[in-house]
Structure 1
Amino acid sequence: MLLYRVRRLLASLFIQADKTTVFVSVLVYVAGSYLLLSAAGESEIIAPDNFLYWLVVTASTVGYGDFSPATPAGKMVVAAWVIPLGLSLFALVITRVGFAVSEFVHRGKRGLRMTNHVNHTVIIGWNGTRTLRLIELLLSKTNGAAAEIVLCVEADIENPMPGRIDFVRVESFSHIESMQRAGLADAARIIIDNPLDDVTLTTALFCDKYSPNSHKTAYFQDENVGELLRAHCPNIECIPSVAVELLAKSSLDPGSARLHRQLLDSTYGMTQYSVEYFGEEPLPVAALFDHFKRDLSATLIAVRRKGVVTIAVNPALTDQVGKGDMLYYISAKRLDEKHCFDITINEGEGVGTCLPN
């Protein structure tokens, strides 16, 4: 009974102890076992090649029997010190490790763990099935090599897609210590989608300050709020609700809503993508249009000039594409940048093959 109470007391102290105390306890046990066995004359057990192996096997009660104490004093040391303390320490260390692993996993599910991604995508806000659909679209194979995704929410939920995305739960979207866990400063893309436009506005302003180099996109139900943000942060792409426009368009041109949904859906069929031109020499739209259709089975539909917000849909074949211009095309999957501009200019339009730098 006394031994049982002692073991319970030691177990309680051990579980509450910090890492340093645990390490010192194990070190004292190992050193004490070595010194006691050495004093007992157990030279074979304390040999450098045997001691740690024998101690772990004995403390864990596996007991292979290839080494055992040969002297009466050695047997007493094993019975009174090595096995009782070793069994307790071994069980408690394994339990503590198990608790640590469980806590680590649980902290990840609850969004309390620090992420360490670079050039990743951060989604800020939670809208239930709409957010899940957004993640599925971003992870679609047709998008090419998808970057890691970190979902950042205020809602009291756990990671909705464990194993596929990282998850961070914060006190506020403008709380710098909490938002740092999402790796905001190192993100390549930030998507802000909250049910409330005022939260989206303040979050976008916060992200513009602490992640100036990322591409930021914000969704607004009220287009006026989006215009207000654009006036202060012109580099943030504001996405307004187009439900009314699609309703009117579909009534005049039946099937328009399904067409637009198809162009935005990267999980199946033809989808709209974009690619930026980094080459030094300007390229004619006519040559690019023909290259996209004949060689890549894609359709060039629009061009956005560098530094210009508006997009030229259905550009003239006589137009030129310069460095920094963005091309938009329809294809079954995202095309490799090199293939998009690997064209040979026909005679009369210039000579040579134009490749991006």
Structure 2
Amino acid sequence: MLLPRMKLARLFDRAFHAMADLHWTMLVLLIAVHAAVTWLLLAVAGESKLQEASAFLYWYATTAYTVGYGDLSPQTAAGRLVTALWVFPGAIAAFTTVVAKVLGAIGDIWRLRRAGKGDYSKMTASIVLIGYHPARTPKMIDELCADLSPDQTLVLLTRQTLTDLDGRIRYVQSESLTSTAALTRAGVPQASRVLIFTDSDSDTLSATLAAAALVPPTAHVVCHFEDEDHARLIDQHCPEVEVILSAGPQLVARACKDPGASQVISALTSHLDEGATLFSLAWGAERPRAFSELARSLLEQGATLLAIQSARDTTPTFNPPMDRLVDAGDRLFYVAAARLAPTSLAA
């Protein structure tokens, strides 16, 4: 006898807590019981027009939603009494509780995302920006959002706690930039692009190694270093990662020898400045085409073809022979006012 009593006590305890917390299971059960009792009471009251399932559900729902169209209503005194004393308090209370829980759930999701605790692991084709630099990251966000396609989302993973959030991005906060759980929550395993730019080369190195182990084979990973030694380590261990090395000294020397070179390079790398910008696209057509033919086709569309990077090479070739064939998988680098669709060269 003691064991059944203990099980019964645990059952009542769970039911009490479920009612106190208004779990969805208990709420649906209470609504179902209330609706069933209402149907029985109306049957006893002789409300034949409200006994049909579709008519009853329609009347019960409009009553609970406080819409009250009036096309269906109790016709007997007993039916009206049941409605006033039983249906109105129970159905309306259930409806307001459902609305409150839905709004509360939406509010919880909003607060979690504002706090950097959101989960974006189900997103596909997103761009994940790992790390935060107070001066440079906002500029990178501007650049990325200026050329963001409608099906892409920008997710920022950082250790910093951000309060003034940019509405164009999704924000994930983590104590570690190498945490598999945090990288997964930011959507790295499903991302199309991953960019690592932190405020120190050591953090960039560790975050790049962690992200490279999770990204899908089709994703493109880019990282930025100030120091050549760190960049060399990534080249050795993750050759598929594109490494950007700070070009400050080289750019200063080039501007000294060729005045205005720094302005030209800056304009080519920014989407925010009006004028020409450097773009690239992968040649996906099955039929190879000559460099001269593609250059002429691009020129007709207001673009200038600068270089080709073979699928087998890691560096682009500038001014190749005009009869060089461009094969499927080769990447074309061109300058234009706006990005061209890959299909624009397929004809």
TM-score when normalising by structure 1: 0.80
Other-structure match for 2:5:
none
In 1, the alpha carbon distance for the partners of 2:77 and 2:150 equals 67
Shift of 1:24: 0.6
In 1, the alpha carbon distance for the partners of 2:110 and 2:245 equals 38
1:302 counterpart (292, 307, 320)? 307
Structure 2 contact 113–171 (Cα < 8 Å) conserved: yes
In 2, the alpha carbon distance for the partners of 1:317 and 1:193 equals 38
In 1, the alpha carbon distance for the partners of 2:315 and 2:24 equals 59
1:120 aligns with 2:134: no
Partner SS, residue 94 of structure 1: helix
Aligned length: 328
Other-structure match for 1:351:
none
Partner SS, residue 252 of structure 2: helix
1:141-180 to structure 2, matched below 5 A, reads 141=147, 147-157=152-162, 160-162=165-167, 164-180=168-184
Query: Structure 1 residues 80, 297: CA separation in 2 closer, same or farther (over 3 Å shift)?
Result: closer
Other-structure match for 1:205:
209
Partner SS, residue 334 of structure 1: coil
Shift of 1:21: 0.7
Query: Structure 1 residues 321, 57: CA separation in 2 closer, same or farther (over 3 Å shift)?
Result: closer
Work out the percentage of aligned pairs sharing the same amino acid: 30
1:270 counterpart (273, 276, 285)? 276
Other-structure match for 1:20:
25
1:188 aligns with 2:169: no
In 1, the alpha carbon distance for the partners of 2:286 and 2:100 equals 62
Per-residue CA distance 1:155-192 (angstroms, 9 max, x = gap): 22268333x44333334222222322222222221111
Other-structure match for 1:346:
none
Per-residue CA distance 1:74-130 (angstroms, 9 max, x = gap): 343233322222232222222112111222333333343332222332211222453
Structure 2 contact 279–334 (Cα < 8 Å) conserved: yes
Partner SS, residue 335 of structure 1: coil
In 2, the alpha carbon distance for the partners of 1:59 and 1:147 equals 41
In 2, the alpha carbon distance for the partners of 1:290 and 1:144 equals 27
In 2, the alpha carbon distance for the partners of 1:146 and 1:68 equals 49
1:241 counterpart (239, 243, 246)? 246
In 1, the alpha carbon distance for the partners of 2:285 and 2:93 equals 68
1:46 aligns with 2:43: no
Shift of 1:282: 5.4
Partner SS, residue 210 of structure 1: coil
Structure 2 contact 126–153 (Cα < 8 Å) conserved: yes
Structure 2 contact 183–211 (Cα < 8 Å) conserved: no
In 1, the alpha carbon distance for the partners of 2:69 and 2:291 equals 78
Query: Structure 1 residues 282, 68: CA separation in 2 closer, same or farther (over 3 Å shift)?
Result: closer
Structure 1 contact 37–74 (Cα < 8 Å) conserved: yes
Other-structure match for 2:227:
222
Query: Does 15-24 or 170-179 show the bigger shift?
Result: 170-179
Structure 2 contact 271–277 (Cα < 8 Å) conserved: yes
> Aligned AA for 1:192?
I
In 2, the alpha carbon distance for the partners of 1:178 and 1:38 equals 57
Other-structure match for 1:84:
89
Structure 2 contact 18–26 (Cα < 8 Å) conserved: no
1:332 counterpart (318, 321, 337)? 337
Gaps of 5+ in 1: 1-11, 343-357
Per-residue CA distance 1:234-266 (angstroms, 9 max, x = gap): 111111111222223223322222111100012
> Aligned AA for 1:167?
Y
In 2, the alpha carbon distance for the partners of 1:145 and 1:275 equals 18
Other-structure match for 2:6:
none
Shift of 1:217: 0.3
1:59-70 to structure 2, matched below 5 A, reads 59-70=64-75
In 1, the alpha carbon distance for the partners of 2:231 and 2:19 equals 57
TM-score when normalising by structure 2: 0.82
- The RMSD of aligned alpha carbons is 2.9
1:135 counterpart (124, 141, 159)? 141
Partner SS, residue 172 of structure 1: coil
In 2, the alpha carbon distance for the partners of 1:28 and 1:200 equals 58
In 2, the alpha carbon distance for the partners of 1:31 and 1:146 equals 46
Query: Does 79-88 or 265-274 show the bigger shift?
Result: 79-88
